[in-house]
């Protein structure tokens, strides 16, 4: 009972803030609201800090979330990754959410270090400098060590408990919303949405996981060298503390960071660095804004803040490649078939009708110079079309497409003439050769061979089960009611076919194809 009361008080505060920002009762809909709601909204909008006039709904929503605190800011950032759910314009507005908050004191930071590292804190973290940057979840300090300067990220005091309470309130309103009869609300699946966001946020509260992501990404990025990541100092990491090498350089948010820089080369590095990690390894930095990019003094482009990462499997990579290729070749029927084959569009929709809708996305770009064609525009228009056909994308694929939009925006801000299609070509061509050339075919054969050998190893166990099934079919117990059983010969025949096929594939691979 007390939990419910606390949750509703938190939601009431959130509702008041959103009303002040014209999020709940926008001016355009004020005439349709009940008189008491109109009166409350008018009073709340008079209070300072609303800032709603002249802004789009997504901008007003972002302003309200910034005032509500860490969990709500993260909610908005997570919603910005789902243009398929909230719409393209709102997603773009929420992607600009500011994550900066006033820093907490150095005394509190040092207390956290003592709690995490005990007596070793003084040795590991000498001369903790003032905070360099403060966000909703953590802040960063610089320390000097015998091994060189380090960047130390420390969680805000009590942030875990604060976020736990806010998430509990969000879960409550999500459950209430899902009971509504609104088709649009049900399509958004609010309970699943909040749970997915909660899992992502919970992972951000364990900095050991971010350390692991930074380390893995650094190894992957080093293969091509387009981008890099600071090395993790594992001795100085814990659940609430993350330490990496300090990067001497300028953030791309610094107005003078690009002075004297080869802008086309830098834009190409950003695009290729993202695609090489995503396509070749299925692991990518999913928060690629200028604030997370540092141009090091030695010329390297270093990415930081690995709290939001994305993973995609081979099937998702192939899906993305096929839809991009289909649009470029104007093969809208194939693009529609790929969506249906992947199960992203419900089978009750006609492939021909879906292809017709996709044509409205592809035709405006046909015949235009590639540098005048925005990949972001193609993908976001695709979101709008597929939403009309009840499309439900897997979150990791949506995150990939959202990051592609972000990458294009940053690259073209650096170099307005940036041709993202041309920049991506070397990486995409390399991936295509590997996946569909001799190397790819050989890998497919090896994978098939491994799968076949695994089945062969299980063959004795499979034959034992077949033998039991045959005996059971020959001497069935009296059934309590008529039941249909698979005949023993069918089990035997199926097993024989599987075993023979597995043996043949294994022999072919071992023999060299």
pLDDT at residue 92 tops 60: yes
b/e code 292-310 from CB counts within 10 Å (16+ = b): bbbbeeeeebbbbbbbbbb
Catalytic residue among 287, 305, 372, 384: 287
What is the tens place of the pLDDT at every residue in 423-479?
A: 888 887 888 787 776 766 666 566 666 666 676 677 677 767 766 777 777 677 666
Residue 138: its pLDDT value, please? 92
pLDDT at residue 492 tops 60: no
Give the residue among 41, 34, 36, 51 at the shortest CA–CA distance from 16: 41
Residue 46: its pLDDT value, please? 55
- Tell me if residue 289 falls in helix, strand or coil: coil
Residue 43: its pLDDT value, please? 57
Residue 428: its pLDDT value, please? 79
Greater confidence (271 vs 188) lies with: 271
Burial label for 150, CB within 10 Å (0-12, 13-18, 19+), is buried
| 245 counts as catalytic | no
Ranges 22-31, 360-369, 370-379, most confident: 360-369
Whole-number Å distance between alpha carbons of 441 and 438: 5
pLDDT confidence bin for 273, thresholds 50/70/90: very high
Whole-number Å distance between alpha carbons of 320 and 508: 32
What is the tens place of the pLDDT at every residue in 311-338?
A: 888 887 877 777 766 766 778 888 888 8
Ranking 125-139, 300-314, 368-382 by mean pLDDT, the lowest is 368-382
What mean pLDDT, rounded, does the chain reach? 77
Other Cβ atoms closer than 10 A to 128: 17
What is the tens place of the pLDDT at every residue in 173-229?
A: 888 877 776 666 666 677 877 887 788 788 889 999 999 999 999 999 999 999 999
Q: Is the pTM of this model over 0.75?
A: no
pLDDT at residue 498 tops 50: no
pLDDT at residue 141 tops 90: yes
Per-domain residue ranges of the chain? 100-246, 444-510
């Amino acid at each position: 009972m007390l939990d419910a009361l606390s949750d509703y008080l938190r939601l009431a505060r959130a509702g008041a803030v959103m009303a002040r920002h014209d999020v709940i009762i926008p001016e355009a809909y004020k005439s349709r609201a009940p008189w008491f709601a109109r009166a409350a909204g008018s009073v709340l909008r008079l209070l300072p800090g609303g800032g709603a006039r002249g802004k789009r709904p997504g901008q007003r929503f972002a302003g309200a979330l910034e005032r509500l605190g860490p969990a709500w800011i993260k909610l908005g950032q997570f919603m910005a990754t789902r243009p398929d759910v909230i719409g393209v314009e709102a997603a773009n507005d929420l992607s600009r959410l500011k994550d900066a908050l006033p820093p907490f004191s150095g005394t509190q930071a040092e207390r956290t270090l003592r709690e995490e590292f005990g007596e070793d804190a003084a040795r590991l973290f000498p001369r903790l400098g003032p905070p360099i940057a403060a966000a909703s979840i953590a802040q960063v300090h610089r320390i000097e060590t015998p091994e060189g300067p380090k960047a130390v990220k420390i969680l805000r005091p009590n942030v875990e408990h604060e976020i736990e309470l806010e998430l509990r309130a969000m879960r409550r309103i999500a459950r209430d919303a899902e009971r509504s009869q609104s088709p649009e609300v049900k399509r958004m699946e609010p309970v699943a949405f909040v749970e997915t966001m909660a899992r992502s946020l919970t992972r951000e509260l364990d900095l050991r996981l971010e350390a692991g992501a930074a380390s893995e990404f650094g190894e992957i990025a080093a293969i091509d060298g387009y981008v890099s990541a600071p090395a993790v100092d594992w001795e100085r990491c814990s659940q609430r503390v993350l330490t990496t090498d300090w990067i001497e350089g300028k953030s791309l948010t610094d107005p003078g960071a690009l002075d004297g820089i080869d802008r086309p080369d830098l834009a190409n590095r950003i695009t290729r660095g993202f695609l090489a990690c995503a396509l070749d390894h299925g692991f990518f930095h999913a928060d690629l804004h200028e604030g997370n990019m540092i141009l090091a003094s030695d010329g390297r482009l270093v990415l930081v803040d690995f709290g939001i990462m994305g993973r995609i499997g081979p099937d998702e990579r192939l899906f993305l490649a096929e839809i991009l290729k289909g649009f470029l070749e104007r093969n809208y029927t194939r693009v529609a078939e790929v969506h249906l084959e992947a199960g992203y569009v419900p089978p009750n929709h006609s492939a021909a009708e879906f292809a017709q809708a996709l044509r409205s996305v592809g035709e405006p770009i046909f015949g235009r110079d590639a540098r005048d064609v925005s990949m972001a525009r193609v993908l976001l228009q695709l979101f709008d079309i597929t939403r009309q056909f009840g499309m439900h994308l897997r979150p990791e694929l949506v995150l990939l497409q959202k990051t592609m939009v972000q990458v294009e925006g940053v690259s073209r801000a650096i170099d307005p003439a940036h041709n993202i299609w041309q920049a991506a070509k070397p990486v995409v061509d390399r991936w295509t050769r590997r996946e569909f050339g001799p190397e790819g075919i050989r890998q497919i054969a090896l994978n098939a061979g491994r799968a076949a050998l695994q089945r062969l190893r299980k063959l004795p166990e499979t034959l034992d089960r077949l033998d039991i099934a045959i005996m059971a079919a020959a001497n069935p117990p009296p059934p309590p009611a008529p039941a249909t059983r698979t005949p023993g010969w069918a089990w035997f025949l199926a097993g024989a076919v599987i075993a023979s096929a597995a043996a043949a594939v294994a022999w072919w691979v071992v023999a060299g194809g």
